[in-house]
Chains A and B, each alone.
Chain A
Amino acid sequence: MTRGCAIGVDVGGTFTDAVLADASGDVTIGKVLTTPDDPRAGIVHAIERVLADSGLDASAVTRVVHGTTLATNVVLQRRAEAIALVTTKGFADLLRLGREARVEGDRYDLLFTPAPPPVDPRLTFEIAERVDAHGEVLVPLTDEAITEVVHRVAAAAPAGIAICFLHSYAHPDHELAVAAAFRDALPETYVTCSWEVWPETREYERAMTTAVCALVGPVMARYLAGLEAHLRELGIGCPIEIMESSGGVMSTGAAARRPVATVESGGAAGVTAAGIVGRTVGAGDVISFDMGGTTAKTGIVREGDPTITHDFQVGGKGSFGGARAGTGVPLKIPVVDIAEVGAGGGSIAWLDGGGALRVGPRSAGAAPGPACYGLGGTEPTVTDANLLLGYLDPAGLAGGVSLAPELAHAAIERAVADPLDVDVPDAARAIHEIVNAAMTAAIRVVTVQRGIDPRGFALVAFGGAGPMHAARLAATFGIRSVIVPWGAGVAAAFGLVSSDRTVDLVQTRIVDLEDLNDPSVVEAQFAELERRGRAELAAGEGRYVVTRSADLRFRGQAHQLTVPVTGGPFGGEDISVLAKRFHEVYRHTYGIDTDAPVQLVNARVRVVRVVDKPDRRPAAAGTSDVGAAQVGERPASFAEAGGFVATPVFDWSRLDPGHTVGGPAIVEGRDATIVVPPAHVAVVDGWRNLVLELPRPGVG
């Protein structure tokens, strides 16, 4: 296979980022404004730009990987056309009854109203059939019943059809027969069933996941077909791949079949990028910290792999970065475990009813933007505080926005400093540190709340605002090493070009380990999932990596922990190894031991086809003097220095591998600014990443 060049393109709320990696590993980056009405215009623009800047011809492009927020937007904004849900007789109200949780302040809201379900009750159809928890058929599905339901649904002419029957994970035939009948009768209509989407127990989440597929599927199929046509016009002939929420990538065909898998596409790209950066510099365990304009997202990479969760809610509620079970739209798919808090550069500082200073979650966004943008914003934001603290250059940001300190000063004075009776620089410092506290909570959710001690991790900081706050966050957790990747502002797009083709599959089958006399039953289960995974990826050659895992629990419990399973074949001793590992993970997670029998609930398989990627070699150390990279000096505020001190400013693009910058210092890149606090040392590595080392552990 000849190696061509790969393009990753990530669509965010404000910017669309593209990264082009050529065969030699050289990288070109591009950033353009997102075009919300049709994101494809921005994508085409970004790709044109990186092609022009790299001087490459479109025909040299052999891979395009796309990170999209289309699915999330469809779910949150309910923008899709009406779909139908077909379910077991007796359960038409499955989604409508729902599990809407009333959390936090909602409890006291006498006007609380749950969000409506994604399927109109008039488009919910029952069919006579019933299977029990063991997969035994209690009410057979008849041809008459199928004909009748197809007739009724066809009359309603929905844009998509979702099918979810009780216990179909244990016996898929009924769902598959009904799906086949719909596909025959309505070949133009998008049809999906829960067995094809995610056959795991718990009917509400499974039905919701299936319904979301039907909602997003038709929109996604049209969008991708259009995008491929646009790229062909540019002269790019290769198929597009889509980043999945689990960190792998899928074909456009798979994305149209299982569009729900793309809900955390962009977030997953960021964590994947953090893992790659970590591997490059020899750090297997990293915390990914992505802070943009509106939110900060954190995720965990262990031994090079992003941590995955199977409990995800789109638009879930709950403070401290965790979306609470039962809120939002729950999806039963593997998603990179991300905690998100409403804390970004645009987050607004305000005083609550008690006069306490709070920051976020409301954001000034791109319009009107922070006060210092001079675009009409009058509320003080984190960016305004960072400007007054001397961290940001008044001369401006990427994208040509210049910053007005006097507007930032006026906003902070009016809304924070005067009411609190403190001076403006103190108020700015408070805003900076309070937003740090909010982000601390997000890091805590993905680390200590999951039983992970963050101290052995490196923090990979990116996004427009991340590198300004990273060193302080690291100190809070006793993390000693902060890595800011070269191209920090487009790191997620970089993750896209570096990803592999992936399929995740699950199968529920509940059995006590002590009753598991024949391990070949489990082996057959894993082998079948593996076969299906390989079949889905069969489009290309290459190296395959298969990972097995199992969800286990103590008998009587309802929540599982996922434990890795050694590659097949699954034999007799694997049963006791599995039990032993589960006990270890359980003790580690809950700090307590139990001697109840252990149950196997789900078998999970991930099949990865490793994609040939450009190999970026480290550059040799430069010979220039670091002083040549210094472009100025300005006062910046550091608590340990007692306030403002003259701080040298360096141009990242002029720093060479091997250069060392001692704090206090500020390093300015094209799309990100790094704050190096006093006593910290920043080293430029062979890939131009900045690696900040903390003076000693635990200094805050």
Chain B
Amino acid sequence: MATIVDDAITGEIIRNGFAVAAEEASVVVVRSSHSTFIQEGADACAAILDARGQLVAQSTATSLMHGASLRCSLPSLLEDFAIDSMEPGDVFALNDPYRGGIHANDILVFRPIFSDGRVVFFAGTLIHVADLGGNAVAGLAALATDTFAEGLLLPPVHLYRRGEPAGAVLDIIARNSRAPEKVMGDVKALVAGVNVIARRIEELLERYGAEELERFVAASIDETERRVRADLCRLPDGTYRGTFPIDGDGVDPDREFAVQAAVTLDHGAITVDFAGTSPQARGTINSSFSQTLSGVVYAVRCFVDPTIPMNEGCFRPLRTELPTGTLVNPEPPAACGGRIMTVAAAVEAILHALAGARPDHAVGASALIHVFSLSGVAADGTPWLNLFYEFGGLGARAGSDGPDATGAFFLGGRSVLPQIEPLEAQYPLLVRSSRLWPDSGGAGEWRGGLGVETVIELLTDAVVTVRGARMDLPPPGAQGGAPGAGGVFAIERHDGRIDVLPSKAANVEIGAGERFVLRTSGGGGLGDPKRRDPELVRADVAAGRVTVEGAARDYGVELA
């Protein structure tokens, strides 16, 4: 009996040990990185995997898309490098979307962790680095039509061999970047992260031994799987269907795209079949298999206990059917940089399908991340570039309005946006205003969250690339709710002319003194707007969320 108790105690200590190691590594990567959106965004993924490639623990602040990529890439590393050939101090990198990666700019770094000369675990880290080539800056090749236009691809390669830099690879990365200093800083931050994990896990190995750790890892993954299955058992069995449109790939304007999901619940097992999903696009919206899988895991986790730890046990009850040559499992060399649109469409399709099993979980659709990059040459002659993004409103829920402008789904909230003062200190631009966009939330008994309007004045000539989503087809409402307002990218020219850009456009010139205007989409409403409590409409008007005209037009509430 004492053994059971001892196991419980040791298990708790080891569980803490792994989780804290991943957290610590993620903090180290953020704090030592050189890309503004990583530093300000705290968006770095760190994970620990076992020698068989099972996910043991991952940093909790991160997007599931990144964690899933680390998990799906490790087998590719092990295909190319026999595990027995690895040595202490080796560090590897890769970024190939067809081998578990995401797109060129998301670099994955792995370091094997040894015990008695045997690889027991792997430490992994991943961030979107500053720039790795491609036909637009900062990894935002919005109009690329193949992976070659998206930047330098790395098959699994050594970055460090026995602790020494494997010179050529680092040089190649630097030589292929528009921002060599920053990209080297970013890669070193990734390495610092895996080093921290290795140090912490080695301490645990020293204390408990490899076999004991492996035993607890196996038990904790089994336990997670059991909990996910038990929660899924509470949903009524059956097959539920959902579909969600994507508003274009920016390359073939006449094509329509949608992700279709058939979700089958069967005694705690869940199968998601994407048959019927559009064929792969020429543009960048294709989602490599690791990314589609992350969307599936995310959507399923919204229906189970949120305190269940994130490890391999969350993947085991899932089966996915990913038809090849479609958006959710493209064939090379399809471009993948804009995969978030397909991943998010997969999430919405599954959420809508499962709302059939849990009607109280019905939601209006949410706005998605609006991404853009700016680059130019500063007054002193140094080139500059940066990747920016902003969020729109979230969809309304049964019983509450959608939150204003924040990260939808796995995107983690507005904490990832750079602040204005550090941006202006680093780049030749001035933010003229940044405000919530009134009336942009989809009307409904429950209102969608608001988008944001931001105006940025350029101080030197610059080039802008944009990649928006859910702008041309704004986030739909549900159960009679209206869609949110569609977001806009535009340039206010010197002569007062306003050029509205398509939602995906690359390398558009913008002159010094001209202004880049971004409006993000609002979230979809839920239920008939006429059923909204007039007091709530009045409060919205007082708080500036709805205009007096909007109150009359959308809700039939006159407040003159």
Whether A558 pairs with B188 at a CB distance below 8 angstroms is no
Asked if B80 lies at the interface with its beta carbon under 8 angstroms from chain A, I say no
Contact for B421 among A98, A166, A596, CB less than 8 A: A166
Whether A100 pairs with B422 at a CB distance below 8 angstroms is no
Please name all residues of chain B whose beta carbon is closer than 8 Å to the beta carbon of A203 when the two chains form the complex. Answer: 419-421
Asked if B308 lies at the interface with its beta carbon under 8 angstroms from chain A, I say yes
| In the complex, per-residue mask of B171-215: 1 if CB is within 8 Å of any chain A CB, else 0 | 000000000011001001101100110011000000100000000
Please name all residues of chain B whose beta carbon is closer than 8 Å to the beta carbon of A429 when the two chains form the complex. Answer: 5
> How many whole Å from B345's CB to the nearest CB in chain A?
17
Q: How far is the CA of A448 from the CA of B411 in the complex (A)?
A: 29
Q: How far is the CA of A249 from the CA of B30 in the complex (A)?
A: 34
| In the complex, per-residue mask of A435-468: 1 if CB is within 8 Å of any chain B CB, else 0 | 0011011001100110000000000000000000
Whether A591 pairs with B195 at a CB distance below 8 angstroms is yes
A122-B542, A319-B60 as given contacts; A557 in contact with B415, CB under 8 Å: no
Interface residues of B in 4-22 (CB under 8 A from A): 4-5, 8-9, 11-13, 16, 19-20
Whether B185 pairs with A440 at a CB distance below 8 angstroms is no
Whether A423 pairs with B1 at a CB distance below 8 angstroms is yes
A102-B412, A103-B412 as given contacts; A558 in contact with B36, CB under 8 Å: yes
Asked if B273 lies at the interface with its beta carbon under 8 angstroms from chain A, I say no
Please name all residues of chain B whose beta carbon is closer than 8 Å to the beta carbon of A324 when the two chains form the complex. Answer: 42, 61
Whether A592 pairs with B434 at a CB distance below 8 angstroms is no
A203-B420, A320-B16, A592-B191 as given contacts; A326 in contact with B415, CB under 8 Å: yes
| In the complex, per-residue mask of B427-441: 1 if CB is within 8 Å of any chain A CB, else 0 | 000111111100000
Interface residues of A in 604-632 (CB under 8 A from B): none
Q: How far is the CA of A438 from the CA of B434 in the complex (A)?
A: 42
Whether A121 pairs with B544 at a CB distance below 8 angstroms is yes
A441-B20, A558-B39, A592-B195 as given contacts; A104 in contact with B185, CB under 8 Å: no
Q: How far is the CA of A440 from the CA of B16 in the complex (A)?
A: 9
Please name all residues of chain A whose beta carbon is closer than 8 Å to the beta carbon of B224 when the two chains form the complex. Answer: 354
Whether B223 pairs with A354 at a CB distance below 8 angstroms is yes
Number of A-B contacts (CB under 8 A): 230
Asked if A152 lies at the interface with its beta carbon under 8 angstroms from chain B, I say no
Whether B12 pairs with A97 at a CB distance below 8 angstroms is no
> How many whole Å from B230's CB to the nearest CB in chain A?
7
Please name all residues of chain A whose beta carbon is closer than 8 Å to the beta carbon of B24 when the two chains form the complex. Answer: 448-449
Whether A326 pairs with B16 at a CB distance below 8 angstroms is no
Asked if B240 lies at the interface with its beta carbon under 8 angstroms from chain A, I say no
Asked if A554 lies at the interface with its beta carbon under 8 angstroms from chain B, I say yes
Contact for B543 among A122, A138, A202, CB less than 8 A: A122
Asked if A353 lies at the interface with its beta carbon under 8 angstroms from chain B, I say yes
Asked if A314 lies at the interface with its beta carbon under 8 angstroms from chain B, I say no
Look across to chain B and name the residue whose beta carbon is closest to the beta carbon of A476: B13
Asked if B403 lies at the interface with its beta carbon under 8 angstroms from chain A, I say yes
Q: How far is the CA of A356 from the CA of B7 in the complex (A)?
A: 10
Contact for A441 among B16, B230, B430, CB less than 8 A: B16
Asked if B237 lies at the interface with its beta carbon under 8 angstroms from chain A, I say no
> How many whole Å from B400's CB to the nearest CB in chain A?
6
> How many whole Å from A103's CB to the nearest CB in chain B?
6
Comparing A106-114, A229-237, A250-258, A484-492, the segment that makes contact with chain B is A106-114
Whether B20 pairs with A449 at a CB distance below 8 angstroms is yes
Interface residues of B in 384-407 (CB under 8 A from A): 397, 399-400, 403-407
Comparing B116-124, B255-263, B298-306, B481-489, the segment that makes contact with chain A is B298-306
A-B residue pairs in contact (CB < 8 Å), sample of 23: A91-B434, A96-B404, A97-B405, A100-B415, A105-B307, A107-B64, A107-B306, A112-B403, A114-B406, A167-B421, A202-B421, A203-B421, A325-B42, A326-B414, A352-B307, A353-B307, A356-B11, A437-B16, A441-B20, A558-B418, A558-B422, A592-B192, A592-B195
Asked if A418 lies at the interface with its beta carbon under 8 angstroms from chain B, I say no
Please name all residues of chain B whose beta carbon is closer than 8 Å to the beta carbon of A415 when the two chains form the complex. Answer: none
A325-B42, A444-B20 as given contacts; A104 in contact with B60, CB under 8 Å: yes
What range describes how many residues of B lie at the interface?
Answer: 35 or more
Look across to chain B and name the residue whose beta carbon is closest to the beta carbon of A169: B421
Q: How far is the CA of A168 from the CA of B444 in the complex (A)?
A: 41
Look across to chain A and name the residue whose beta carbon is closest to the beta carbon of B35: A556
> How many whole Å from B368's CB to the nearest CB in chain A?
15
Whether A420 pairs with B4 at a CB distance below 8 angstroms is yes
Please name all residues of chain B whose beta carbon is closer than 8 Å to the beta carbon of A449 when the two chains form the complex. Answer: 20, 23-24, 27
Whether B363 pairs with A592 at a CB distance below 8 angstroms is no
Interface residues of B in 225-241 (CB under 8 A from A): 226-227, 230-231
> How many whole Å from A584's CB to the nearest CB in chain B?
15
A90-B435, A96-B436, A202-B419 as given contacts; A110 in contact with B302, CB under 8 Å: yes
Contact for A559 among B39, B182, B397, B399, CB less than 8 A: B39
Please name all residues of chain A whose beta carbon is closer than 8 Å to the beta carbon of B19 when the two chains form the complex. Answer: 319-320
Please name all residues of chain B whose beta carbon is closer than 8 Å to the beta carbon of A108 when the two chains form the complex. Answer: 298, 301-302, 306
> How many whole Å from B179's CB to the nearest CB in chain A?
9
A107-B410, A356-B223, A434-B9 as given contacts; A422 in contact with B4, CB under 8 Å: yes
Look across to chain A and name the residue whose beta carbon is closest to the beta carbon of B61: A103
Interface size on A, residues (CB 8 A): 82
Whether A557 pairs with B33 at a CB distance below 8 angstroms is yes
Q: How far is the CA of A354 from the CA of B11 in the complex (A)?
A: 13
Whether A204 pairs with B419 at a CB distance below 8 angstroms is yes
In the complex, besides A111-B397, A352-B307, A590-B31, 20 extra interface pairs with C-beta distance below 8 angstroms are: A90-B435, A91-B420, A91-B433, A91-B434, A92-B435, A98-B414, A103-B412, A106-B413, A108-B298, A110-B302, A114-B413, A122-B542, A203-B419, A326-B416, A353-B227, A353-B307, A354-B308, A423-B1, A449-B20, A592-B195
Q: How far is the CA of A700 from the CA of B206 in the complex (A)?
A: 13
Q: How far is the CA of A202 from the CA of B419 in the complex (A)?
A: 6
Look across to chain B and name the residue whose beta carbon is closest to the beta carbon of A167: B421
Q: How far is the CA of A596 from the CA of B419 in the complex (A)?
A: 23
A426-B2, A559-B31, A592-B191 as given contacts; A100 in contact with B413, CB under 8 Å: yes
Please name all residues of chain A whose beta carbon is closer than 8 Å to the beta carbon of B12 when the two chains form the complex. Answer: 356-357, 434, 437
| In the complex, per-residue mask of A569-606: 1 if CB is within 8 Å of any chain B CB, else 0 | 00000000000000000100111101010000000000
Whether A101 pairs with B413 at a CB distance below 8 angstroms is yes
| In the complex, per-residue mask of A351-392: 1 if CB is within 8 Å of any chain B CB, else 0 | 011101100000000000000000000000000000000000
> How many whole Å from A555's CB to the nearest CB in chain B?
8
Interface residues of A in 516-550 (CB under 8 A from B): none
Contact for B406 among A102, A354, A437, A448, CB less than 8 A: A102
| In the complex, per-residue mask of B26-62: 1 if CB is within 8 Å of any chain A CB, else 0 | 0110111110100110100000000000000000110
| In the complex, per-residue mask of B341-375: 1 if CB is within 8 Å of any chain A CB, else 0 | 00000000001000000000101000000000000
Look across to chain A and name the residue whose beta carbon is closest to the beta carbon of B203: A448
Whether B34 pairs with A353 at a CB distance below 8 angstroms is no
Asked if B129 lies at the interface with its beta carbon under 8 angstroms from chain A, I say no
Closest 5 pairs between A and B when the two form their complex, measured CB to CB: A326-B415, A90-B433, A105-B306, A558-B39, A101-B415
A90-B433, A592-B195 as given contacts; A353 in contact with B32, CB under 8 Å: no
Whether A99 pairs with B415 at a CB distance below 8 angstroms is yes
Most buried by A among B11, B13, B308: B13
Asked if A510 lies at the interface with its beta carbon under 8 angstroms from chain B, I say yes
Interface residues of A in 313-355 (CB under 8 A from B): 318-320, 322, 324-327, 352-354
Please name all residues of chain A whose beta carbon is closer than 8 Å to the beta carbon of B231 when the two chains form the complex. Answer: 353
Q: How far is the CA of A427 from the CA of B403 in the complex (A)?
A: 44
Q: How far is the CA of A105 from the CA of B64 in the complex (A)?
A: 12
Asked if B140 lies at the interface with its beta carbon under 8 angstroms from chain A, I say no
Whether A322 pairs with B23 at a CB distance below 8 angstroms is yes
A102-B407, A108-B298 as given contacts; A326 in contact with B413, CB under 8 Å: yes
Most buried by A among B2, B4, B404: B2
> How many whole Å from A448's CB to the nearest CB in chain B?
8
Please name all residues of chain A whose beta carbon is closer than 8 Å to the beta carbon of B188 when the two chains form the complex. Answer: 592, 594
A97-B452, A594-B188 as given contacts; A437 in contact with B13, CB under 8 Å: yes
| In the complex, per-residue mask of A164-181: 1 if CB is within 8 Å of any chain B CB, else 0 | 001100000000000000
Look across to chain B and name the residue whose beta carbon is closest to the beta carbon of A89: B433
Asked if B560 lies at the interface with its beta carbon under 8 angstroms from chain A, I say no
Contact for A354 among B36, B64, B189, B226, CB less than 8 A: B226
